[in-house]
Amino acid sequence: MNTGLWVNEQTFVPLDQLSDKMNLQIATRANSAHFWVSMLGVLPDPDIILGKEGNDVATYNKMEFDSHIFAELQKRKAMTTSLKLNFNRGVASEKYSKLVEDFFNSNDHELVTDRSKLIDDDEDNDLYDFIEIGLDCIGHGFQPFEILYDKINGHILPVKIIDRPREWFHFDEQNRLRFKSKNSPWQGELLPPNKFIVFRNKPRYNNPYGTRLLSRCFWPWMFKHSTEKWRIQFLEKFASVWAIGKLPRGKDNPEYQKMLNELEDMVNSGVAVIPDDGSVDLKEPAGKGSTADIFKSTIQEYNSEITKAIMTVTLLTDVGSSGGNRALGEVMERVATKVALTDKREPEKRISQLLKWIFQLNNWGAAPKAELLEAEDYDVERAERDNKLTEQGVKFTKKYYAEKYNLKNDEFNLESQNSPTPYEFAETSDNDKVKSIINSLTDTQLQSAINPIVKPVLNAFKESSNFQEAMEKIMILIPDVRTDAVEDLIIKLNAVGLAEGSTYNQ
């Protein structure tokens, strides 16, 4: 029996040939009986609100004028835009990584000698604006950007990042973005490489347009605004007192109609003329408070549904006027953190994509990766990295600490570091020194190092958990010895420890 794989109804691939065919796509739109490709190859937007309800993307733009929707979207985006952008260099060139980082981070763009290269000033390549506008994909599904490049001091760099209207684009049956130009308004033009970046919210194979959270808010928004007309009519009828006119029995209908007209005018002007045998009573309608509460609770319910759709919160929006508690606040904070961790992935990928393009265009090799970190986490990570570099011999300037850690020059001083640190004991930078010491010691000298005379010193060395502790213990045992002599002794003891198979306890 032959073994293999049916690629389609007509093609069978034997097992020994699968290695060359495993990269073939089988379940595609072209092979699917449930999908019909249009003559122009345009992939219809699967959004139900835009399709069955006969709306267009202008509907979602209109929805953002709702104060509650706008506030919730801004809150959702702020959880990501408040993070600090960091370039993780990895194996990328330090020189070119710093060049690109300085280009984006410098307010005055010291790198740019020709100011005319920057279109509409330096804010056009602000990556934080890039992130904020790109996060419109949360509500609208996707957000395209066009990148303009130019040569700056011999380097190809993005001088302008422009957000383009979403309605100018669509996707084809291969999920490729196309621009609906004048020359090709229906099929659209394929876009050149390294030119357009698209933010997308949870795209899928059957929906490259992304997931629009505003489509989840459509019906609550629609019902909420559909009741406005009735709320206004209710307020006109029942929010103010009723004017009731009284006339003696036996009056003719024209007199009743005349008084009614006077009362209607009184509602607007506040004055009226009535006969001396008539009267006017002002009565407040009973039960209007409970009716008004119905409208208020209905609006709150619609707003609650909108908040759930945008913020993914299903608990705090149901707390109501009774208020919440500390536990609910902690739940909200955890949910917000998880949402921010999810949302930040798209900006990180798109900025990393831009960095990759820059490095490819300039033939700079591997590119750094973009990271969005909490300010505190960012400082801790940088501090740990700088500490390791310092232990390896790197010396940072005072300007570096002031810029990277947001410090003022009068808030700190740099002390000279002449003494070795514990980290140096195991680093390759001292291996040559240790080897030379070992090689210079004879067997007799090694034996004398563990002579009972120096056993207390050796024990103090072995029992110490770090360099400073070893220094203190040995200085107590040998108070009159010079510090540099103790340092040299510790290095030699460490060499002996390496020779005997034991190492310094770090």
Determine the pLDDT at residue 296: 78
Residue type, 182: K
Nearest one of 382, 365, 386 to 374, comparing CA atoms: 382
246, 279 Cβ separation under 8 angstroms: yes
Residue with tokens 């959702």: 76
Determine the pLDDT at residue 76: 92
Tokens representing 193 are 């490489």
Residue type, 88: N
Nearest one of 369, 290, 480, 346 to 92, comparing CA atoms: 369
Proportion of the chain above pLDDT 90, given as a percent: 28
Say yes or no to pLDDT of 107 above 70: no
pLDDT tens string 327-383: 666 777 777 778 888 999 999 999 999 999 999 999 999 999 999 988 665 566 677
Proportion of the chain above pLDDT 70, given as a percent: 61
Q: What is the band of 72 on the pLDDT scale with cuts at 50, 70, 90?
A: very high
pLDDT tens string 245-268: 777 776 777 877 777 777 777 766
7 or 69, greater pLDDT: 69
Please enumerate in sequence order all residues whose Cβ is within 8 A of that of 215, keeping only pairs 6 or more positions apart, or say none: 47, 48, 49, 50, 60
pLDDT tens string 202-223: 999 989 999 999 999 999 999 8
Q: What are phi and psi of 200, to 5 degrees?
A: -140, 145
227 burial (CB, 10 Å; 0-12 / 13-18 / 19+) is middle
Choose from 116-120, 248-252, 386-390, 453-457 the range with maximum mean pLDDT: 386-390
When pLDDT is averaged across residues 20-38 and rounded to a whole number, the result is 69
Give the CA count within 13 Å in the CB-facing half-sphere of 376: 0
Between 16-30, 251-265, 411-425, the lowest mean confidence (pLDDT) is in: 411-425
Global pTM value: 0.63
Locate the domains of the chain by residue range: 1-36, 45-229+285-373, 375-406, 422-500
Pairing type for strands 369-373 and 84-88 reads antiparallel
Determine the pLDDT at residue 142: 96
238, 288 Cβ separation under 8 angstroms: yes
Neighbours of 257 (CB within 10 A): 10
DSSP 8-state code for residue 481: S
